[in-house]
Chains A and B, each alone.
Chain A
Amino acid sequence: MNIERLVAMANDIAAFFDAEPDKAVAAEGVRFHIARFWDPRMRREIIAHVQAGAEGMSATAVTAIKALSPPPNSSNQ
């Protein structure tokens, strides 16, 4: 997957939740959204990107991805 596109998507989600006054609530909103709507391969790649330094990602997005559980390993991909 194009990591720049995934970073942009994560930042867009974070930009919505950043309006929440409570930053913890905002980060949890981003984490929950990505867990609910992103295919496992996308989640794996964004987690790897954050672990590699999170270039280009907003603070809320980084906090959210750090709290995101890795998808289960699958033999399907």
Chain B
Amino acid sequence: MYAKGYHDLGTPGSTGGAVTLEVDGATVTVPAGTSIMRAAALAGGDIPKLCATDTLKAFGSCRVCLVEIEGRKGFPASCTTEVAAGMKVRTHSEALAKLRRGVLELYVSEHPMGSCPDSSRCDLEHLAREHGIGESRFAGPATARDLHTHEPVDASNPYFRFDNDLCIVCSRCVRACEETQGTFALTIEGRGIESHVAASAAQPFLESECVSCGACVEACPTGALMEKSVITAGLPQQAVTTTCAYCGVGCSLIAEVTDGAVSRMVPNRNGRANQGHACVKGRFAYGYATHTDRVTKPMIRKRITDEWREVSWDEAFSYAASEFRRIQAAHGRDSVGGITSSRCTNEETFLVQKLVRAAFGTNNVDTCARVCHSPTGYGLKHTLGESAGTQEFVSVQHADVIMVIGASPTEAHPVFASQMKRRLRAGAKLIVIDPRGIPLVKSPHIEADFHLRLMPGTNVAVINALAHVVVTEGLAKEQYIADRCEKASYETWKKFVADPVNSPEAMEKISGVPAETIRGAARLYAAGPNSAIYYGLGVTEHSQGTTMVMGIANLAMATGNLGREGVGVSPLRGQNNVQGSCDMGSFPHEFSGYRHVSDDATRSLFESMWKVQLGSEPGLRIPNMFEAALDGSFRGMYIQGEDLAQSDPNTSHVTAALSALECLVIQDIFHNETARFAHVFLPGSSFLEKDGTFTNAERRISRVRKVIEPLAGLADWEVTVRLSNALGYPMNYTHPSQIMDEIAALTPTFTGVSYEKLDRLGSIQWPCNEKTPEGTPTMHIGSFVRGKGKFYVTAYVPTNERTSSRYPLLLTTGRVLTQYNVGAQTRRTANMAWHSEDRLELHPHDAEARGIEHGDWVGVTSRAGDTVLRVEITDKVAPGVVYTTFHFPESGANLITTDNSDWATNCPEYKVTAVQVVKVAQPSAWQQRRQAKIPAEPASS
């Protein structure tokens, strides 16, 4: 059942020309192609329905939506009959009521009144009551109910259960799995009265191919598929529209609240990003917000070997402020800094960087986007003129060729993946560039036309080879380039990529991708006519991450694939507010809106508003902070919502730096790995506990709305305000809307943004200003933001991380569907049922050569460190390549990643680490120490 208060129009909308008809005597005008059912609903007169819902194509099976049409014989189904000009429809008559009662009685024979655990949520029982049906004349032996009764309820899925006894075989769940999610896990097995819903090959839901997106549960018109959370909770008293706090898709969700607690999360059907869909994380995995691990009291300690002491908020702020001021007095203003979080709101992020710049008086502020998408900002800004993706998600429905590079959308961005898969099933071509056989390469009704299975670290070799084919085979869009790009840069780049050293044949030796595969992919991409590139961290987290982003932009410009729907360059952001945290001036060299701190006019604007003198020199990036901490010139750090000790590479190096700090202030909802090195712990607030905005991967700003009160008493933005006040730099905001007003006043791309407008429009894609008052879905229409697009020469430079006889395999890292990032949230939910540990994927050939069997413990050793993981033998990875996720701190995945980083941004090279893998019998020394909870040692100073 859909969210409280939603008016389901029965069938999807249409976009045809206007058609006027009469429904029950009322004149209504709708687009051609609209169903009678939808037209009637739009006119305010809902037609009874069971198998229809407005997110699924009409099916016409339940036969309760029959209508009469003047001049036509019979009783057509209103869901499958399109409107026509001048048509006169009757939706209610004695004849129709009689027919509907008969049909409903048949359904009630399968699903007796009162059999649902919550009949108020059952459309069938509701309709039957409306038609005066108490019990069915057809109930009894030889019915489907008689056949299916006594089948056990399938409660294997942790979030919902399936009771076949309550199912009316309307196929809404099966169609939702196909049309909305695109997994095809459900089917109708059997014929006639033996028909029943089955997951995969009649398996329990948990063991089936079901990805637990919940679309089937929402689609079910009875209680057959129902969230476990609502069975006992009853109907909600409140429904609050907010934005998901997981990945960069930024799904709009409706939180239903029963007795002060969230009882159900439902995707917003009016949400532009998610189009009414959600995934297993957004829809179900919100329980971490009230997990017993939540820290709700401020704490301090003088040394990291001391026990924590709970204190009042005032004492915590006072202690933290006095420590920062003491350090600055002794070691200079630039001896402290702060980290903003991509998990927090725009307003909170803006405040943290403001606190660092204005209250601390330094530009030593950075964001966790440093370690994921900083190359995107640099690469796209330099080539196209703006540090952001070019499209909105629905643009993919206009793409003819989709190229996915270094991303696994079905695992990391599942709701957008469903939209992409819909387009692929409709005929778009697919090119995948990835070392792994990601699920998108081959799934039901989808198979990549080309899979360029390159060796980790050779992205730039492949993008140059693709460009070589475009240029040397005359596939470049010369007129587009002449009109929109810098001539000199194009000529230089063209000569560079045309050089035989960049040919597919030459690059085959480096990348391992057959030359003909590269040539075929290049021809397909260039032919389009609409070709779109989507990429992820498999592009950015390399020593040449920025070079690769530039190479992608070069290719898109050269083939004319920017500046309209269906094309573009779209980074798939990892965390919910990566885009926002970058937009809000979190980088040490720039203010909000990506303006350099050395720009006098911009700095003057901020100085005037903030009433303080600001620095004109760039500050330290996160890895620079670590180096400075180790040399003693950086001693104090304020981190909001980021777990550096788990997420950053070369853990030993990171923890050595953290333990060298004199004052580390952590603001988080859980006692994370970094907190082991902290002196002050400020309890954070989850997305359910505060107001604000997130900006997703398509530049869409969406409201986050408070659903429950902050567990610790303060929302994150309030904590920063109080800390700033304790530091002697007053902040006087009383609501996050005031912070957004300040952002709008200081940031050209946000001048038209306000909470009032967000409430009115639902969401806004920046730039939003006087030129585009309702936002900008597609960027670079007509011309690029920087004026003329600029091609950059992108020579392939091999990473310093090489395999050797000692480290013969290449490790790359990534995510799974059911866990998220460092796992702080999802590990505290029932998502553990699917993925309870990080495993190392190893190719069968490499396993055999080492005498390793599936499930063995293996030691993974790199030049940086070692850890132990359980092994999974699979051909998803190529020979010579191993892969793991990093969702569990005890895995120590980042003990083995190195200090190598992107040349332009210092984004770590997570995706390439040379390792050796051997069978072992026990955890690593680090893991044993961690398990024994041996406290962190302070560095000797």
Residues of chain A at the chain B interface (Cβ within 8 Å): 1-2, 5, 9, 12-13, 15-16, 18-21, 33, 36-42, 71-72, 74-77
Contact = CB atoms under 8 A, between A and B. Distances in A.
A33 B334 contact: no
A15 to B, nearest CB: 5
Nearest to B793: A19
A77 B635 CA distance: 11
Given A13-B903, A21-B492, A39 B795 contact: no
A2 B617 contact: no
Interface stretch (B423-431, B443-451, B555-563, B620-628): B620-628
B684 interface: no
Interface string B481-525: 000000000001000100000000000000000000000000000
B369 to A, nearest CB: 15
Interface in B590-634: 596, 598, 617-621, 624, 627-628, 630-631, 633
Contacts of A76: 332-334, 361-362
B277 interface: no
Interface string B349-382: 0000000000001101000000000000000000
Contact of B633 (A5, A15, A41): A41
Contacts of B617: 39-40, 71-72, 74
A9 B899 CA distance: 11
A74 B547 contact: no
A19 B903 contact: no
A48 to B, nearest CB: 14
17 contacts: A2-B627, A12-B901, A13-B903, A16-B797, A16-B903, A19-B496, A36-B618, A37-B621, A38-B618, A39-B619, A42-B624, A71-B617, A75-B332, A76-B333, A76-B334, A76-B362, A77-B331
Nearest to B496: A19
Interface of B: 331-335, 361-362, 364, 492, 496, 543-544, 546-547, 588-589, 596, 598, 617-621, 624, 627-628, 630-631, 633, 793-795, 797, 899, 901, 903-904, 906
A5 B631 CA distance: 12
Contacts of B901: 9, 12
Nearest to B364: A39
A40 to B, nearest CB: 5
Given A12-B901, A74-B334, A76-B333, 17 more contacts: A1-B624, A2-B627, A9-B906, A12-B543, A15-B797, A16-B546, A16-B904, A33-B904, A36-B589, A39-B364, A39-B628, A40-B617, A71-B617, A74-B332, A75-B332, A76-B334, A76-B362
A5 B627 contact: yes
A37 B589 contact: yes
Given A16-B904, A39-B620, A5 B899 contact: yes
Contacts, number: 77
B537 to A, nearest CB: 19
A37 B624 CA distance: 11
Contacts of B364: 39
Contacts of A5: 627, 899
A57 B621 CA distance: 22
B334 A77 contact: yes
Q: Which of A2, A12, A42 has the most CB of B within 10 A?
A: A12
Contacts of A15: 797, 903
A1 B630 CA distance: 8
Nearest to A26: B793
Contacts of A71: 617
Given A5-B899, A19-B496, A77 B633 contact: yes
B792 to A, nearest CB: 9
B332 A12 contact: no
Nearest to A41: B633
Most buried by B among A2, A20, A39: A39
A77 B633 CA distance: 7
Nearest to A43: B617
Nearest to B361: A76
B482 to A, nearest CB: 22
5 smallest A-B Cβ distances: which pairs? A19-B795, A12-B903, A76-B333, A76-B332, A77-B332
B333 A39 contact: no
A76 to B, nearest CB: 4
Contacts of A40: 617
A32 B543 CA distance: 20
Contacts of A33: 904
A33 B543 CA distance: 16
Contacts of B598: 36
B456 to A, nearest CB: 18
A14 to B, nearest CB: 9
A38 to B, nearest CB: 7
A33 B193 CA distance: 72
B628 A41 contact: yes
Given A33-B904, A36-B596, A40-B617, A19 B333 contact: no
B912 to A, nearest CB: 14
Nearest to B796: A19
A37 B334 CA distance: 16
A11 B633 CA distance: 24
A73 to B, nearest CB: 11
B496 A1 contact: no
A76 B334 CA distance: 6
A1 B335 CA distance: 13
A18 B617 CA distance: 26
Contacts of A42: 620, 624
Contacts of B904: 13, 16, 33, 37
A2 B631 contact: yes
A19 B794 contact: yes
A28 to B, nearest CB: 14
B41 to A, nearest CB: 56
A58 B336 CA distance: 32
Contacts of B619: 39
B142 to A, nearest CB: 76
B793 A37 contact: no
Nearest to A39: B620
A18 B543 CA distance: 15
A56 B794 CA distance: 24
Contact of A16 (B331, B547, B630): B547
B216 to A, nearest CB: 49
B606 to A, nearest CB: 18
A39 to B, nearest CB: 5
Nearest to B493: A19
Contacts of B362: 76
A39 B588 contact: yes
Contacts of B631: 1-2
A5 B361 CA distance: 27
Contacts of B899: 5
Contacts of B547: 16
Contact of B618 (A16, A19, A39): A39
A77 B544 CA distance: 32
A34 to B, nearest CB: 10
A69 B361 CA distance: 23
A21 B495 CA distance: 10
A5 B628 CA distance: 11
Nearest to B623: A5
B793 A20 contact: yes
B631 to A, nearest CB: 5
B795 A18 contact: yes
Contacts of B543: 12
B542 to A, nearest CB: 12
A1 B793 contact: no
A18 B630 CA distance: 31
A19 B633 CA distance: 35
A13 B588 CA distance: 18
Question: Which of B364, B588, B617, B795 gathers most chain A CB within 10 Å?
Answer: B617
Contacts of B596: 36
A18 B797 CA distance: 10
A33 B826 CA distance: 39
A36 to B, nearest CB: 6
Contacts of A9: 901, 903, 906
A33 to B, nearest CB: 7
